[in-house]
Amino acid sequence: MVSGGALTPVLLFAKAPLAGRVKTRLARETGEAQAVALYRAVGRRVAMAVAAAYPLTVWFDPPGAEADMRRWLGDHEYRPQPNGDLGERMACAFAEHFARGERPVIGIGADAPGVSATVIANAERLLGQATVVLGPALDGGYYLIGLCAACRGLFQGIPWGASGVLRATEERCAALGLSVARLDPLRDIDTREDLDALGEALDGGA
């Protein structure tokens, strides 16, 4: 919980659901239309599940897509992602929320259908025990990161888009003297294999 008893803010990092901009690996296997439709369905599912219990800020890309994002995800706070690689954009977003006096702060992506208010509550609980909470994705990245304080250096030197993101982030935490707690791993959707593995669980809610 943030100071004053307010609910922990959750930052949803999302791209406008446009062909060629989202789920490009999946699109090569399923076609652009199905990949975009899936991204839209999962993103909306995550946003609705989390926003039912927590204040949600959608950090979106590209900057001119706010109207489309609102039609897609609903009535939340919207902020355009700044320039830079993913690490720089995430660092700036977290820094803005900490500058508001909000802490802890939790960030999530829009492509792991298992993310829910319960997952956020578990991360919130762990942030009472550790400085950083990570939700491991099965592809070697992470679907959630929670911080108790701003730490721009945590997002530097990470091989974004590669399979070693989680490992590199934990190594950065160790180098910076930050304690880390892990959530249960979840699968995000990047390939046909992910789609098949989720099966009925995805069909039932997305």
- Whole domain around residue 136: which residue ranges? 3-203
The model's pTM is 0.92
Number of domains forming the structure of the chain:
1
Handedness of CA 203, 191, 36, 54 (dihedral sign): positive
CATH number at residue 158: 3.90.550.10
Q: What is the pLDDT of residue 4?
A: 46
Q: What is the pLDDT of residues 67-107, one digit of tens each?
A: 999 999 999 999 999 999 999 999 999 999 999 999 999 99
d(Cα 161, Cα 47) in Å, to the nearest integer?
22
The CA-atom distances, in angstroms, between 68 and each of 14, 64, 72, 83, 180 are 12, 9, 6, 20, 36
Q: Which residues of 75-89 are buried (b: 16+ CB within 10 A; e: fewer)?
A: ebebbbbeeeeebbb
Q: What is the pLDDT of residue 5?
A: 52
Quick one: pLDDT band at residue 195, thresholds 50, 70, 90? confident
